[in-house]
Amino acid sequence: MIKLVNTIIETKDLKKYFNTLKGPCKAVNKVNLKIKEGETFGLVGESGCGKSTLVRTILKLIEPTSGQIFLDGVDITDYKKKQLMALRKKMSLVFQDPHSSLNPRMTVFDTLSRPLKIHNLTKNNQETMIEITKLLKLMGMQPEHMIRFPHELSGGQKQRIGIARALAVKPELIFLDEPTSALDVSVQTKILKLLNKTKKIRDLTYFYISHDINLIRVVSDRIGVMYLGQIVEIGKVDLIYNNPIHPYTKGLFASVPEPDPDKKIKGEPLSGEVPSPVNPPMGCSFAPRCPFVGPKCREEKPQLKLLSDGRRVACHKDNLK
């Protein structure tokens, strides 16, 4: 039986600009993205590339400057107030820093009961209790953790509560903003495995953002590489990982140290600095650092082109495979 895969999220020419004294900060600069239902999509990029802003714009936590956002085929770009509530039930967010993403004055019970009460998912206190107990058990925690305050929990436990909160609304899609970067290595693996298991149990779609290429590789089905507000390469993870095509992707992947003393980084894969999204260069934003730069690159912004192996790359270089 062929299962038709829905596009759960689509963005069209999405832009988010911030006004600064030095000029517009083009945090999200014309992003065209399609996320398939049931997949794990990983957005990778260095600091300042706009991935956090992109996620918050899609979630409508921030208002887009221009462009469109579609959720399950419906245009949600201009959604306000009441309509937004429906969105909050369909998409949720797991935050990076477990130490500041939980209200210090709310117990675990309070934190997890809020989403249930706001969206009328439970009718009374007893049902709320039951639901919260289920969530805690799913996270590998005990019901007694319900009465704890955040300062009485470890970093890993706090992050589990953050994940439970995102699950409480019973969403279709969960965005995960560097969910393990603030955690120890030994806790990291556990959380990632927990997320993986939960995705299968609850039949979810995941959108990870991270600067950690190794993490994105190990969790994602498809990945996108973001640079200065734009997606420069997007496609199946193994395809891109084994054979990066965009010069930035190439340089970025080559910069990642591998935990293998026989495989060392050669030289300086990427020269220059990570640029500021305020007043980005004309033409291709990577041109100033690109070893393959040509005259067209400085004048015209490259669009994402479909290649024969299914990936999309935004580059003017002619001999792209």
Please, which of residues 6-65 interact with another protein by CB under 8 A?
46-47, 59, 61
Instruction: Confirm or reject binding of residue 279 to another protein (CB under 8 A).
Output: no
Instruction: Confirm or reject binding of residue 212 to another protein (CB under 8 A).
Output: yes
* Residue 39 or 46 with smaller CB distance to another protein: 46
Instruction: Confirm or reject binding of residue 204 to another protein (CB under 8 A).
Output: no
* Residue 266 or 321 with smaller CB distance to another protein: 266
Contacts of 110 (CB under 8 A, 6+ apart): 103
Please state the closest distance from residue 261 (CB atom) to another protein, in A.
5
- Say if residues 225 and 246 touch (Cβ distance below 8 Å): yes
Instruction: Confirm or reject binding of residue 203 to another protein (CB under 8 A).
Output: no
Instruction: Confirm or reject binding of residue 104 to another protein (CB under 8 A).
Output: yes
Closest by CA position to 93, among listed 67, 54, 131, 142: 54
- Binding to another protein by CB under 8 A, coded x per residue (else -) over 143-182, reads xx-xx-x----x-x-----x--x--xx-------------
* Residue 137 or 305 with smaller CB distance to another protein: 137
Exactly one of 5, 118, 282, 306 binds another protein (CB under 8 A); that residue is 118
Exactly one of 20, 23, 74, 85 binds another protein (CB under 8 A); that residue is 85
* Residue 258 or 299 with smaller CB distance to another protein: 258
Amino acid letter at 101?
S
Please state the closest distance from residue 14 (CB atom) to another protein, in A.
19
Strand, helix or coil at 28? strand
Contacts of 90 (CB under 8 A, 6+ apart): 71, 72, 171, 172, 173
Contacts of 199 (CB under 8 A, 6+ apart): 40, 206
- Say if residues 310 and 235 touch (Cβ distance below 8 Å): yes
* Residue 12 or 119 with smaller CB distance to another protein: 119
Q: Which stretch binds another protein (CB under 8 A): 3-11, 86-94, 291-299, 302-310?
A: 86-94
- Say if residues 95 and 103 touch (Cβ distance below 8 Å): no
* Residue 32 or 122 with smaller CB distance to another protein: 122
* Residue 85 or 306 with smaller CB distance to another protein: 85
Instruction: Confirm or reject binding of residue 109 to another protein (CB under 8 A).
Output: yes
With the C-alpha atoms ordered 43, 44, 50, 56, is the resulting torsion angle positive or negative?
positive
- Say if residues 95 and 164 touch (Cβ distance below 8 Å): no
Query: What is d(CA 315, CA 292) in angstroms, rounded to the nearest whole number?
Result: 10
Query: What is d(CA 54, CA 51) in angstroms, rounded to the nearest whole number?
Result: 5
**Triad 235, 236, 240: Cα angle to 5°:** 75
Looking only at residues 284 through 313 of this chain, which bind another protein when binding is defined by CB under 8 A? none
**Triad 30, 34, 36: Cα angle to 5°:** 160
Q: Which stretch binds another protein (CB under 8 A): 23-31, 70-78, 247-255, 299-307?
A: 247-255
Instruction: Confirm or reject binding of residue 84 to another protein (CB under 8 A).
Output: yes
Q: Which stretch binds another protein (CB under 8 A): 7-15, 21-29, 67-75, 253-261?
A: 253-261
Instruction: Confirm or reject binding of residue 96 to another protein (CB under 8 A).
Output: yes
